[in-house]
């Protein structure tokens, strides 16, 4: 049981740290490569957060949060499948795994619904 929790925590931790490293690498790449200077001289580079305003920035933050929640539910589904595959025919473990997968699917549906509502509100407010 402890091994399963360790695997889940490791997957979640790696997911979070890998996403943060991509953001840091992108910012440093622009500075090192000179793309920022070249893009601003040609008129193609704009800082999106300062140009867009508050509403699009909040929308992007909500999308990122919903993305992390979606990743969490994906990890729960994988964990539930792992519990099911390692249950060795034990009915209690199979029922536990089915509950985990069922709850993960319900949670994912809620996240997709929240994303659809957020997107609809955002599209309505920009018109």
Are 117 and 71 members of one domain?
yes
pLDDT at 44: 63
Are 31 and 64 members of one domain?
no
Are 68 and 81 members of one domain?
yes
Are 58 and 99 members of one domain?
yes
Q: In the chain, how many domains are there?
A: 2
- Residues contacting residue 76 through CB under 8 Å, at least 6 positions apart: 8, 100, 101, 103, 104, 107
Are 72 and 122 members of one domain?
yes
As a whole number, the mean pLDDT across the chain is 76
pLDDT at 58: 78
Are 41 and 90 members of one domain?
no
pTM above 0.85, yes or no: no
Residue ranges making up the domain that contains 79: 47-127
In whole angstroms, what separates CA 96 from the centre of its chain?
A: 25
Are 64 and 123 members of one domain?
yes
> Mean pLDDT of residues grouped by 10 in the chain (127 residues)?
71 63 52 66 59 72 83 90 91 93 89 83 77
Are 59 and 100 members of one domain?
yes
pLDDT at 102: 93
Query: Six-digit token pair at 84?
Result: 């099911």
Are 20 and 67 members of one domain?
no
Are 92 and 41 members of one domain?
no
| 3-class SS of residue 34 | coil
């Amino acid at each position: 049981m402890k091994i399963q929790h360790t695997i889940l925590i490791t997957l979640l931790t790696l997911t979070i740290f890998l996403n943060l490293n991509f953001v840091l690498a992108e910012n440093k790449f622009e500075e090192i490569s000179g793309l920022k200077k070249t893009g601003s001289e040609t008129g193609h580079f704009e800082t999106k957060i300062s140009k867009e305003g508050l509403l699009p920035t909040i929308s992007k933050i909500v999308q990122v949060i919903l993305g992390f929640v979606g990743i969490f539910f994906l990890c729960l589904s994988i964990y539930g499948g792992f519990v099911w595959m390692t249950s060795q025919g034990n009915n209690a473990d199979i029922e536990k795994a089915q509950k985990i997968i069922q709850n993960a699917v319900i949670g994912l549906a809620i996240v997709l619904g929240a994303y659809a509502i957020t997107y609809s509100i955002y599209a309505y407010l920009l018109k």
